[in-house]
A and B are shown apart, each in its own frame.
Chain A
């Protein structure tokens, strides 16, 4: 089983959380899970919209102490 890799995109306006996630997803292997950390509340909607369109898999999404933890699995 692949380990979960953390993508720390807290407090970033540019390049921003989704752009950071896309960068790391491009380099990840199929089956890898990435956990995106974000303090931007928009991320909770932005990430699933991209993940669903591109065809990866949303694993989980939860807010812990003002930080969103969003897990995504690369499927292709």
Chain B
């Protein structure tokens, strides 16, 4: 049984490690083999970028060698896939290799596309790449006061990020002693301040308390970087001195080029996480078209289901688990308090008031991630 995992992010890495343990006997007896193909020899802890943007983490804290995170029995190659030939059960790689498989796991993730909004990259700051997060920190450090606008592209990874960055901006300027010189205005695409109703119900009075203004039904359409004005599809605009944006995302180009899914998102079964129309192709994490948060947490829970089902199919000829839509997101409510949202397809999150222990748990998790992605936690 040849299992091929394409992509070495959170989802792909957890699938591969989880499978390597479940199939240790089969791998030893050469009845199963696991291969991972990735575009990079490095693994980034992406949630750490928010801390880099506020000078609380250094970029080098976010990386580990991908090979060091994988079980020794996993064959790992830095050789990204360029062609998916699903009807022949094989892929073709950048180096020219043809790699056949019996089971394929597609975990290629997503990419930011700020260029879809004219002027956004030129006029604003973001923290969704290492380079951007460092640049944003320097912009914040140089900022002495004025209008700060926060705008949100659709769709976007880490749906909690818009509120987290807003709370962090408040705390950052307060710590610098210039909060009274900064006007923060939050703009959100739908008609409440967060898509999760209970997060919106919690965050609204918090925004009121800390003096953050908000405008809903604001989908960023264009940025006039020269005159520092951001405009919405809905016809409103905001004159800013500093613009912070959550970039719109798409799936990876290779998914679009191979016509596996519109926008780079692969049509995926909600519970079995198989690519629609293919019984031996699984999709994990951001790569799916599921109406589930694009987060490492969703990828983690999906990966466990996929690995357990691939292993059980080999051992007893049947899947044993369904994905129930589970997501668990920490929510940083500033620099010293946090809460969390846990939900699935059927049950909305029940938000608790933020507290300091939950913030320290999140700070600990920033380190524990490396245990988690190895499949040990």
Contact = CB atoms under 8 A, between A and B. Distances in A.
Interface string A7-44: 01111111111111011001100000000000000100
A12 B159 CA distance: 13
Contact of B293 (A15, A18, A22): A15
Contacts of B217: 49-50, 53-54
Interface string A51-66: 0011100000000000
A41 B233 CA distance: 25
A49 B218 CA distance: 12
Interface of A is mostly: helix
Interface in B286-314: 291-293
Interface string B228-241: 00000111000000
B233 A54 contact: yes
Contacts, number: 75
B234 A20 contact: no
Interface string B338-354: 00010101101100000
Nearest 5 pairs between A and B by C-beta? A12-B291, A16-B195, A11-B345, A18-B190, A23-B155
Given A13-B343, A18-B191, 15 more contacts: A12-B291, A12-B292, A13-B196, A14-B159, A14-B327, A14-B341, A14-B343, A15-B293, A20-B291, A22-B189, A49-B217, A50-B234, A53-B235, A54-B233, A54-B235
5 contacts: A12-B345, A14-B196, A19-B190, A19-B195, A54-B219
